[in-house]
Amino acid sequence: MSSGEPLSALCSPALVVDVDKVKRNAQRMMERCHQLGVQLRPHMKTHKTLECADIMTGGSRRCIVVSTMAEATFYADHGFDDILYAYSLPFDKVERCAALSERLDLFQVLLDHPDALERLRKRPLKGGRRWHADGVELTGVYAHCGNTYNCEGVEQIQAVAQETTSFTLQFMEKLKAVGISCRSSIGSTPSCSHPVPDMGKLSEVHPGNYVFYDVQQSVIGSCALEDVAVRVLTRVVGHCPHRNQLLIDCGWTGISLDGAGKLPSGYAMIEGHPDLKLLSMTQEHGRVEPISGPLDCSKYPIGSLLTLIPYHSCAAAAMHPVYHVHSEGRLMGKWTPTRGW
Amino acid sequence: MSSGEPLSALCSPALVVDVDKVKRNAQRMMERCHQLGVQLRPHMKTHKTLECADIMTGGSRRCIVVSTMAEATFYADHGFDDILYAYSLPFDKVERCAALSERLDLFQVLLDHPDALERLRKRPLKGGRRWHADGVELTGVYAHCGNTYNCEGVEQIQAVAQETTSFTLQFMEKLKAVGISCRSSIGSTPSCSHPVPDMGKLSEVHPGNYVFYDVQQSVIGSCALEDVAVRVLTRVVGHCPHRNQLLIDCGWTGISLDGAGKLPSGYAMIEGHPDLKLLSMTQEHGRVEPISGPLDCSKYPIGSLLTLIPYHSCAAAAMHPVYHVHSEGRLMGKWTPTRGW
């Protein structure tokens, strides 16, 4: 695939990323945090690529969150630092966490249980370093307002954002009262897309999905559908008039099974075809039918392209070994995510 | 991870493959086909690795089925031949199919539409070769009795196997009556696990999942639960007594969302704990609760291992960049699948 070619030059299924939307989503979040006076610590779990991390950190390669040790190591190996591993310390990975703590300027781990503190104490760091967690050095308090994902509309999102912020700030006051001063971090793409002023009193926020967004986020109200930066390209590979269905070449390996039962349009939205539904999938096939009424197969010739907007971009991206990046429909290159744990 | 270490030495989540069960499942299928007098053409889509392909072909590296051109190319690059691409010719991949047809002794493509035949005719092969499909050389008729997946028990499976076999054989007779003689191939792990004698009249069968099997196949009746060769290892990472739940470190990135609503035990079976259910998952966490009654968290200390038997091994395997292979619980090495399209 040469640079500058149209998206239609890609074999399908293919995950395509609109780099202009990615940059715009990233820029808006940076500006929002700047205005609030809060540090942005972007989460890498949605895309897991170097290129997108550079865009989200404005090229600093500092101050990120990751969901796996594979991500932590991948980013550390490429010059990133100040990495927060947002996973309550897994006991099987203490040695790997120790290695990164000894190697990076700042590697932060999460603790949520006294046993975890014991595990850190049993593995003192070399070179006079201290664990940045709850061990010798408490760095901060981390909360994820995941309940924003049950919201619909800005008002509900901001109510949850306010509640989480207030709880966190009250907890910080209690810590302060017993002489403990540390940082505070809350997250979630919905709350950070529509922040409340009190979030400016936190040290940092850690959203991630916002760089791609998806149909789920548009339903919640975090973004407009036009902000969604990723698509899965697919082609019609069969007509099944006896079942009133089209077959497409995107199965669950191409977009994941996330979103079951959530949308009238099924597992995704089909761009430009609000009348169609991605009903079900096998490993390499999707079944598409009209939301109501008969299907006119002649409108969808074998080989013609359809464009799926994923319900959940984290889940769709996780199925792809490579993302195809474009600007205004012209291919610019590929981004390769890290995988595994 | 050194060879010979116990499974508990692995970081979780991890997909582990019992190589002895894989060999036994493969051997039984070879013997079954030998007794029937039908050629076995194993499908690679479940595992997509070289090592497992060698086991399934008895080391011949000949006569396989694949679900993607990525698999076809991967196997061709490693000396496999007589590859059947079991996907109705996708128009965006004709050139890639042509390249493999010109390079291999035998590369077979499927056609199910006159337009597809036109596409092949427009791209004649070099070196005096002929397309092995419906073009100049009709190789055979291919059917997949996917409706065996709705069966429960051997009797139902064999009824579908008989029906598919009879339809296919009747169609072969009709072809013969107009002077066309060619091969016939039917598939599905359920039907080939419990074949009917008439299947011996076919040229070949093409099951795939049988090498791993899974909970779904045991529910259908294709295998016993003890035949399932894959597991996802996970660890307890949190206690949530207020929700009557455990948190485990296997989310949908570790086992997929396949099987929703299918089992009393949720998205998987938890080996040795028939009382537990994998209720739901986020990207990197699973929520486990008792099927009924209160949870005794003290039975599941933080850091302790749980073993998930996947509902659908194709879907679980698709989430892992590497499989950890063991014999009787001792690690032997890694298998690396190919991914993408």
pLDDT in tens, A242-292: 999 999 999 999 999 999 999 999 999 999 999 999 999 999 999 999 999
Pairwise CA distance, residues B234 & B237, whole Å = 9
CB atoms within 10 A of CB B224: 10
Predicted local distance difference test score (pLDDT) of residue B132? 83
Question: A146 pLDDT band (50/70/90 cuts)?
Answer: confident
Through-space distance between the first and last CA atoms of chain A, rounded to whole angstroms: 30
| Residues β-bridged to residue A318 | none
Percent of chain B with pLDDT over 70: 98
Q: How confident is the model at residue B113 (pLDDT cuts 50, 70, 90)?
A: confident
**Residues forming a β-bridge with A66:** A85
| Residue B145 confidence (pLDDT) | 86
User: How many Cα neighbours within 13 Å face the side chain of B242?
Assistant: 0
Per the structure block, which two tokens stand in for B31? 């013997």
- Which residue of A10, A11, A216 is the best one to mutate when testing the B interface, meaning the one whose CB has the most B CBs within 10 A? A11
Is the Cβ–Cβ distance between B295 and B245 less than 8 Å? yes
Report the distance separating Cα B186 and Cα B38, nearest Å. 11
Distance CA A221, CA A154 (A): 6
Q: Are A249 and A12 in contact (CB under 8 A)?
A: yes
In this predicted structure, what is the pLDDT of residue B3? Answer: 82
Mean pLDDT of the A157-176 span: 94
Place of tokens 């009556």: B177
- Residue count of chain A, please give it: 341
Rounded distance, CA B145 to CA B135, Å? Answer: 25
Using DSSP bridges, classify how beta strands B140-143 and B137-138 pair: parallel, antiparallel or unpaired. unpaired
Cα–Cα dist A341/B238, whole Å: 18
pLDDT digits (tens, 9 = 90+) for A98-131: 999 999 999 999 998 888 999 999 999 998 898 9
Q: Inform me whether the C-beta atom of residue A290 falls under 8 Å from chain B C-beta atoms.
A: no
A188 touching chain B per CB within 8 A = no
Lowest mean pLDDT among A138-147, B33-42, B293-302: A138-147
- Cβ pair A223, A213 in contact under 8 A: yes
CA A295 to chain centre: 35
Q: Which residue in B83, B38, B37 sits closest to B60, CA to CA?
A: B83
B44-82 CB burial, b ≥16 within 10 A, e <16: bbbbbbbbbbebbbeeebebbbbbbbbbbbbbbeeebbb
A90: left (phi over 0), alpha (psi -120 to 50) or beta: beta
Kindly report, residue by residue over B194-214, the tens digit of the pLDDT.
999 999 999 999 999 999 999
Structure confidence at residue A161 (pLDDT): 94
Q: Are strands B81-88 and B107-110 parallel, antiparallel or unpaired?
A: parallel
User: In terms of CA atoms, which chain A residue is nearest residue B254?
Assistant: A340
Encoded amino acid at A36, one letter: L
Residues near A37 by beta carbon (within 8 Å), at least 6 away in sequence: A200
CB-CB under 8 Å, A12 with B341:
yes
Determine whether the interchain pair A253/B318 forms a contact, defined as Cβ–Cβ distance below 8 Å.
Answer: yes
Distance CA A234, CA A308 (A): 7
The answer to whether A257 faces chain B, any CB pair under 8 Å, is: yes
Residue A327 has pLDDT above 90, yes or no: yes
Residue tagged 């002929």 (tokens)? B130
Rounded-to-integer distance, Cα A276 and Cα A293, Å: 10
E-strand ranges in chain A read 14-18, 39-40, 62-66, 81-88, 107-110, 132-133, 137-138, 140-143, 183-186, 204-205, 230-240, 245-248, 268-270, 276-281, 286-290, 305-310, 323-327, 330-335
Give the pLDDT band (50/70/90) at residue A134.
low
Put residue B100 in one of left, alpha, beta given phi > 0 → left and psi -120 to 50 → alpha: alpha
Mutate to test the interface with A, among B1, B92, B93, B145 (most CBs of A within 10 A): B92
pLDDT at B1: 60
Query: Do B190 and B270 touch, CB atoms closer than 8 A?
Result: no
Tracing tokens 């610019």 back to the chain, one arrives at: A332
Looking at residue B144, what is its pLDDT?
87
Q: What is the mean pLDDT of residues B74-86?
A: 98
Q: How many CB pairs under 8 A join A and B?
A: 117
Please state the length of chain B.
341
| Beta carbons of B302 and A115 less than 8 Å apart | yes
Interface test with A, best of B283, B297, B305, B336 (most A CBs within 10 A): B283
Within 8 A of B314 by CB-CB distance, chain A residues are 283
Q: Give chain B's domains with CATH numbers.
A: 19-212 (3.20.20.10), 225-335 (2.40.37.20)
**Band (A1; pLDDT cuts 50, 70, 90):** low
Distance from CA of B35 to the nearest CA of A (A): 31
User: Nearest C-alpha of chain A: how many angstroms from B79?
Assistant: 24
Distant-in-sequence, close-in-space partners of A299: CB < 8 Å, separation ≥ 6: none
Q: What are phi and psi of B245, to 5 degrees?
A: -135, 155
Residues 6 or more apart in contact with residue A341 via CB below 8 angstroms: A68, A69, A70, B11, B12, B13, B14, B254
B137 has a pLDDT exceeding 80: no
Residues 6+ apart with CB under 8 A from B77: none
Q: Is the pLDDT of residue B136 over 60?
A: no
Render pLDDT for A214-242 as a digit per residue (tens, 0 to 9).
Answer: 999 999 999 999 999 999 999 999 999 99
Token code pair at residue B287:
């929520």
CA distances from A284 to A136, A144, A235, A337, B315 (A): 51, 35, 12, 21, 11
The SS3 call for residue A209 is: helix
A115 in contact with chain B, both atoms CB, cutoff 8 A: yes
Indicate if the pLDDT at residue B165 is higher than 60: yes
Q: Which pLDDT belongs to residue A135?
A: 52
Closest CA to A162 of A141, A189, A186: A186
Q: What is the mean pLDDT of residues B85-113?
A: 95
Asked if A1 is an interface residue toward chain B (Cβ–Cβ < 8 A), one would say no
- State chain A's mean pLDDT as an integer: 95
pLDDT band at A16 (very low <50, low <70, confident <90, very high): very high
Whether B227 has a pLDDT exceeding 70, the answer reads yes
d(CA A21, CA A23): 5
- Choice among A178-182, A318-322, B28-32, B136-140 with the minimum mean pLDDT: B136-140
3-state secondary structure chain B: CCCCCEHHHCCCCEEEEEHHHHHHHHHHHHHHHHHHCCEECCECCCCCCHHHHHHHCCCCCEEEEECCHHHHHHHHHCCCEEEEEEEECCHHHHHHHHHHHHHCCCEEEECCCHHHHHHHHCCCCCCCCCCEECCCEECEEEECCHHHHHCCCHHHHHHHHHHHHHHHHHHHHHHHHCCCCCEEEECCHHHHHCCCHHHHHCCEECCCHHHCCCHHHHHHCCCCHHHCCEEEEEEEEEEEHHHCEEEECCCHHHHCCCCCCCCCCECEEECCCCCEEEEEECCCCEEEEECCCCCCHHHCCCCCEEEEEECCHHHHHCCCCCEEEEECCEEEEEECCCCCC
